[in-house]
Amino acid sequence: MSRQRELADQLGVSTATVSRALNDKPGVSTETRRRVVAAAHEMEYRPNAAARALTTATTRTVVFAVHRHQFPLGIDPFYPGIMRGLEETLAAEHYGVMLLTLSDADVQAGPASLPVFQEGRVDALVAAGPDIPPQFILAAASSSLPVILVDNALRETAIPTVTSDDSGGCRAATCHLVDVHGHTSIALLRGTPGWVSSDERAAGYCEAMAAAGLEPRVVSVEGTTIETGAEALTDVLESWPGVTAVVAVNDAMAIGAIRQARELGRRVPEDLAVVGFDDISWAALSDPPLTTVRVPIVQIGRRAGRVLLDHFDEVVTVSSRTTLATELVVRTSCGCAPPPLEGVAFDGVRQGSDQP
Amino acid sequence: MSRQRELADQLGVSTATVSRALNDKPGVSTETRRRVVAAAHEMEYRPNAAARALTTATTRTVVFAVHRHQFPLGIDPFYPGIMRGLEETLAAEHYGVMLLTLSDADVQAGPASLPVFQEGRVDALVAAGPDIPPQFILAAASSSLPVILVDNALRETAIPTVTSDDSGGCRAATCHLVDVHGHTSIALLRGTPGWVSSDERAAGYCEAMAAAGLEPRVVSVEGTTIETGAEALTDVLESWPGVTAVVAVNDAMAIGAIRQARELGRRVPEDLAVVGFDDISWAALSDPPLTTVRVPIVQIGRRAGRVLLDHFDEVVTVSSRTTLATELVVRTSCGCAPPPLEGVAFDGVRQGSDQP
DNA sequence: CTGTTAGCGCCTTCAT
DNA sequence: ATGAAGGCGCTAACAG
C-alpha cells in the first residue's frame, strides 16, 4: 500500500500537489494532474481512511440504525433488504455502512450515549423503521449529524425521508376489490396505530372506500403479526358477519386472517377475499397465493443512499421526501383466477434467486 | 465533545498520562488513574476514533462480508441474523460492524480490489457463507488481515471458524425417523455439493443410516430451493417408489418436497415423512408443521464476535473451530402427533416477537 | 511515575 | 501552479 509521500517522491512533486490532484481541487495544471492520477493508478495508491478522517473530520461511513427487535427477525428480511440497497449504492462511492441495532435502553438513552456517535465514527445516520422514537431522531438531527429516515417519517421537520407509497398501494388494493370483484363490504385489518406506514395504508383504504361511496370499517389490533391478523379477523366477523373482503396492512396479518377465516368455516377467496401488503417471500407460496402490494425494499435503501451521496456532494436540498411506487401483485386470494400455466414462481427463496 | 488536551489541562497533567490512564497502560499511579478516569467520565471525554486509528493502525471496526445474492433475500434472514449477533457482542466493546455485500465481480477480483480493505478501514474480516471462494478467503488471510469464517470452513488452514453442528443435527433427524417412527427407507435430498454445511448434513445422514444398518440413498440437485426440493423428490419417487421418508438439507427443500409429494398423490406424513433443516420462521407455519433441526443463527454471530474480541485482546490461539449445537425440533411432518393444545406458536413473525 | 517529543498520513493555509 | 509548514487527536519512545 503506497503512501502519498512515495507517490510525490516518485513524481518529483509535493504531497500537496498530489492531494490536490487526486481530490479534484483547483491549483494543479492539467498535465500535472494527469501524471499524478496515472501514477496513483499505477502504484495502486489508496488514501488511508484514518488519516483522511482525522484531517477532514469526515469518515465516509454511514450508520444504519434499526431497533434490535426488528432487524433480522421474522418472516421476511425487510430491514436487511433496505440495508443491502443502501450498501450497494454507497459502496460504489467508497462509502461504508455500519450496522447499529438499538436496544430499548439505547433508544431511551439517545444517540449521545452511543459510542459510534461519540467517537465520531460516522457522517450520517439512516434511521429505519417507525419504532425509533422521534425524540431519538430529533436529538441526532440537532447534533449536526445528517439524518435520513426510511420506512418512517416525522411531521413538521425537514428531515429527509424515503418511504414507499403506502396509501397509494392500499388504495389500489381496495379499488381492485371494488372494481374488479364488485365487493362492497370491505374491512381493513390494521395493526399498531401511530406507525407511519400503517397509518398511510389505512388512509389509502379509507380514500378508496370513500371514492367508491362505501363506508369504511377499520379494526385495529396491537401488533401486525399472524396472530393479530387472526384476532382482527375474528373481531370483524363477529361485528360484521356480512363482510365479504378484507384488506390487511401487511402480509403476516393477511395470512393470519386466512387461517382464521378457514378455522371459522369461511372459504378463501370464495366466501372472503383477502389482500395483504408487502409481498414478502411467502405471499406467493401461501394457500391460496396472496394478492398483495409489493414494496420496493431494496430500492428504498438505494434511494436513501443516493440522497446521502447528494448531501455529501453538497448538493443543496431544501427538503427531500421520496415516495417510491408500490405495485399491486394480483394472485388468487382476492378471487382472481390463477395464472394458466406454471403456477406460482417460487422466487425469493434463501439460497435461491436474486431480486431485481 | 471534549478532547484529551482539555482533560489534561483540567487535571494539570500531560496528555500522555491521560492516554495511559484511560487505556489501562502501566506507568500511572493508582491515584492519578482514578482522577483521570473520574474527570473523563465527568467531562464526557470520548477518544476520537480517527485519531486513534491513525496512531494505532487499528480501527475497531470489523467487516461482515457475504455474497450479495445471499444477503437479505428469501425465505429467512439467515445471514442478517448472524450479522445481528455479531453486532450485538462487538458493539458492547465499542467495535463497529460494517456490511460488505460482494458481487460476482468483487469475488473474482479478490479482497485487494475492495476499497474497504485498501483504505485500511477494518481490523478483521468475517466471511459468511459457502459461496465466498477459498481463493478470496486465502488472499485476505495472507494479507495479514485476521479472517474468521461463519457458515463455512476451509480444510487445511488455521482460519478460525464458527459453524453449527450440521452433521450431528442431520444424524439426530435421521435417527428420529429410524428410532421413533421405524422407517427403513429413508432418502436424503441434498443440494449443491461442495457447500460445507450441505456436505456435513449429508455426512450426518450417512452416519446415522450406517449406524442403523441401512443403506443410504442420496439425491443431489443443483441449489437448495423449494423448486429443487420438489425436483429432488420427483427423482426419489421415480427411482425408489418404496421410499417412506426423506430428510432434506434445508427447510426450503423440505417444503418443496412436501408440495411435490402431494402433487404426486402422497400424503405427508402418512405416506411420506419429511424433515427439514434450519428451522426458518415458516417451518412452524407450513402444512403440516415441519419437523426440522434448529440452527442457532444469532448465536453463531455472537460467538464469532467473541472469537474476534479475544483475538484483539491478544489472547493467543493456535486454532479455533467452534461448532454450535443444533436442536431437533419435532413437529408433525415426521409423523409425530401434534401437541395437545394451542397448536403452533406463530413466533418469528416480522414486527413480531423477539428471539432469544 | 510523569512529562516532553515525535510522528501516524493527509489536507490546507500561506508563501513563492 | 506549486512547495513548505503546520496541525487534526492520539499513542509511543525517550527522558527525567
CATH number assigned to the domain comprising residue B183: 3.40.50.2300
Among A32, A47, A62, the domain-final residue is: A47
The reply to whether A180 has its C-beta less than 7 Å from any atom of strand C is no
Residues of B in contact with A98 (CB under 8 A): 61, 96-99
CA proximity to A86, closest of A49, A127, A119, A42: A127
Number of domains chain A contains: 2
User: What is the distance in angstroms measured between the alpha-carbon CA of B5 and the sugar C1' of D10?
Assistant: 10
* Residue A1: predicted pLDDT: 61
Q: Report, as an integer, the average pLDDT of A307-333.
A: 93
Size of interface A-B (CB pairs under 8 A): 232
pLDDT digits 0-9 by tens, A38-73: 999 999 999 999 999 999 999 999 999 999 998 887
Flag if B46 and A191 touch (Cβ within 8 Å).
no
Among B295, B326, B347, the domain-final residue is: B295
* Residue B345: predicted pLDDT: 45
Average pLDDT, chain B: 92
Q: How confident is the model at residue A95 (pLDDT cuts 50, 70, 90)?
A: very high
Q: How confident is the model at residue B1 (pLDDT cuts 50, 70, 90)?
A: low
Residues of A in contact with B283 (CB under 8 A): none
Whether residue B74 is predicted with pLDDT greater than 50 in this model: the reply is yes
pTM of the model: 0.93
pLDDT digits 0-9 by tens, B209-264: 999 999 999 999 998 888 999 999 999 999 999 999 999 999 999 999 999 999 99
B94 domain-assigned: no
Minimum CA–C1' distance nucleotide for B3: D9
Question: Cell 377499520 maps to which residue?
Answer: A218
* Residue A343: predicted pLDDT: 45
Which residues does residue B167 pair with via DSSP β-bridges, in sequence order? none
Flag if A54 and B54 touch (Cβ within 8 Å).
yes
pLDDT digits 0-9 by tens, A236-251: 999 999 999 999 999 9
Q: How confident is the model at residue B338 (pLDDT cuts 50, 70, 90)?
A: confident
Residues of A in contact with B51 (CB under 8 A): 54
Q: How confident is the model at residue B19 (pLDDT cuts 50, 70, 90)?
A: very high
* Residue B92: predicted pLDDT: 96
Residue A106, min C-alpha distance to chain B (Å): 11
Best A55, A295, A349, A354 member to test B by mutation, with max B CBs in 10 Å, is A349
The reply to whether B15 has its C-beta less than 7 Å from any atom of strand D is yes
* Residue A156: predicted pLDDT: 87
pLDDT digits 0-9 by tens, B168-205: 999 999 999 999 999 999 999 998 888 899 999 999 99
Amino acid at residue number B14: S
| Three-state secondary structure call for residue A157 | coil
Flag if A94 and B115 touch (Cβ within 8 Å).
yes
* Residue B85: predicted pLDDT: 97
Helix (H) or strand (E) holding B137: helix B134-142
CA atoms within 13 A on the CB side of B181: 28
Q: Report, as an integer, the average pLDDT of A301-307.
A: 98
Burial, A207: exposed, middle or buried (Cβ in 10 Å; 0-12, 13-18, 19+)? middle
**Which residue range is the domain that position A205 belongs to?**
166-295
Q: Report, as an integer, the average pLDDT of B33-41.
A: 94
Flag if A73 and B226 touch (Cβ within 8 Å).
no
Among A30, A47, A64, the domain-final residue is: A47
Q: Report, as an integer, the average pLDDT of B1-22.
A: 89
Flag if B46 and A76 touch (Cβ within 8 Å).
no
Percent of chain A whose predicted confidence (pLDDT) is above 70: 94
A116 domain-assigned: no
A235 domain-assigned: yes
Minimum CA–C1' distance nucleotide for B52: D10
Residues of A in contact with B93 (CB under 8 A): none
Whether residue B353 is predicted with pLDDT greater than 50 in this model: the reply is no
Residue B66 C-alpha cell reads as: 457475504
A280 domain-assigned: yes
CA proximity to B100, closest of B113, B89, B116: B116
Contact predicate A322/A303, CB 8 Å: yes
B289: left (phi over 0), alpha (psi -120 to 50) or beta: beta
* Residue B343: predicted pLDDT: 44
**Within a 10 A sphere around the Cβ of A45, how many other Cβ atoms?**
20
Whether residue A354 is predicted with pLDDT greater than 80 in this model: the reply is no
Residue B216, min C-alpha distance to chain A (Å): 25
pLDDT digits 0-9 by tens, A179-205: 999 999 999 999 888 889 999 999 999
* Residue A314: predicted pLDDT: 82
pLDDT digits 0-9 by tens, A270-302: 999 999 999 988 898 888 999 999 999 999 999
B150 domain-assigned: no
Percent of chain A whose predicted confidence (pLDDT) is above 90: 82
B248 domain-assigned: yes
